[in-house]
Amino acid sequence: MPYSKYILGLKDKARLKNKTIVLPEGEDARVLEAAHIIAADNIAKLIILGNKEQIQSFFAEHNWPLDGIEIVEPETSPHLGEYTKLLYELRKDKGLSQEDAAKLALNYNYFGTLMIKSGHADGMVSGANHSTADTVRPALQIIKSAKKGRMASSCFIIVSHDKPYFLSDCAIVINPNERELADIALDAAETALKFGEEARVALLSYSTYGSGKGDAVDKVRHAAALANADLQSPEYQGLNIKLDGELQADAALDKVVAAKKAPASDVAGSANVLIFPTLEAGNIGYKLLQRLGGCEAYGPLLQGLNAPVNDLSRGALVEDIVGVIICTILQTK
């Protein structure tokens, strides 16, 4: 699969950030090839977790240099004791014993997350061989939400005809309430800004401005009102965010439909951040775009955390992993 112009553009921005990304799945050939591509192109420094001898011989077999790549075996790492202590301190109030902390720190997803918390890496990409829950749980527990009390959520970057769309939440929050949906919309807007785009946010529904009825419609309309009220606060002043809802997907994306259904909206017809009312809608929606619409899909990228930890689909191709690593670099501070 060739990379879109969009991802190639992000690659150059990522290189300038000079970051270190940890890849906990050193046993996976796709991850190793993606690491080689990133390192050979000087996009970032990488730390691969896994068996040193096996990873070194895999690189040697393919004639790939290991410049810019550090291989760390958690079991023999000089930092293991420090990470175990850190994990225990962070989680002892949640009932974690020292014994369990020692076991958990050896789980590669926890080890990688503890590297970020300790400042030894800037972000992590995992999930080629782990479920979303196993990949993101350490991040939710250790890295934590950037805004206290606010849920982290996720975003997919969908590239259609070299244009990025930010779709949220397709992977984390199963059935957000009005407040949570408003927060997802605001965090997705900030994700779009981080990638250098304006944020024109549409909260999607089966109704446009009251054309349909039901509790689900009310939830989306109220969430849009909450988010728009928040946009008036000093925190969001000066940010290029416009937000509207409830809107149907055609009204959000198509200028002709928007002119009929929501002529006064400054988002309808040109939305680039699409907010789904539930995880069910979002997850089905992005997969339809990817499988039937021929779009590239990068993510889920977690948003709202203190540092980026991103998940991969278990069916991810090498190109997908490279793309998610690049996106992760863009999300770092």
Ligand X SMILES: CC(C)(COP(=O)(O)OP(=O)(O)OC[C@H]1O[C@@H](n2cnc3c(N)ncnc32)[C@H](O)[C@@H]1OP(=O)(O)O)[C@@H](O)C(=O)NCCC(=O)NCCS
Binding site for ligand X (CB under 6 A): 94, 132-133, 136-137, 140-141, 145, 151-152, 171-174, 283, 300
Pairwise CA distance, residues 326 & 157, whole Å: 12
Are residues 153 and 172 in contact, defined by beta-carbon separation less than 8 angstroms?
yes
Cα dihedral 234, 221, 145, 20 sign: negative
Q: Which letter does DSSP use for residue 151 in this model? A: P
Q: Hey, what's the torsion of the CAs at 49, 54, 56, 58, to 10 degrees?
A: -110
Instruction: For ligand X, give the closer residue by CB, 77 or 141.
Output: 141
Distance of CA 147 to the CA centre of its chain: 16
Q: In whole angstroms, how close is the CB of 40 to ligand X at the nearest point?
A: 30
Q: In whole angstroms, how close is the CB of 140 to ligand X at the nearest point?
A: 3
Per the DSSP assignment, residues forming a β-bridge with 20 are 45
Q: In whole angstroms, how close is the CB of 132 to ligand X at the nearest point?
A: 4
Q: In whole angstroms, how close is the CB of 171 to ligand X at the nearest point?
A: 4
Q: In whole angstroms, how close is the CB of 269 to ligand X at the nearest point?
A: 30
Largest distance between two CA atoms of the chain? 64
Q: In whole angstroms, how close is the CB of 297 to ligand X at the nearest point?
A: 11
- Write out the DSSP string of 15-45: HHH--EEEE--TT-HHHHHHHHHHHHTTS-E
**326 half-sphere exposure, CB direction, 13 A CA radius:** 27
Instruction: For ligand X, give the closer residue by CB, 129 or 132.
Output: 132
Instruction: For ligand X, give the closer residue by CB, 58 or 298.
Output: 298
Q: In whole angstroms, how close is the CB of 198 to ligand X at the nearest point?
A: 26
Are residues 303 and 183 in contact, defined by beta-carbon separation less than 8 angstroms?
no
Are residues 23 and 31 in contact, defined by beta-carbon separation less than 8 angstroms?
yes
Identify the CA nearest to 110 among candidates 128, 76, 132, 87: 87
Instruction: For ligand X, give the closer residue by CB, 269 or 300.
Output: 300
Instruction: For ligand X, give the closer residue by CB, 20 or 145.
Output: 145
Instruction: For ligand X, give the closer residue by CB, 141 or 278.
Output: 141
Instruction: For ligand X, give the closer residue by CB, 44 or 104.
Output: 104
Q: Which letter does DSSP use for residue 150 in this model? A: P
Instruction: For ligand X, give the closer residue by CB, 104 or 173.
Output: 173
Q: In whole angstroms, how close is the CB of 130 to ligand X at the nearest point?
A: 11
Cα dihedral 245, 249, 250, 252 sign: positive
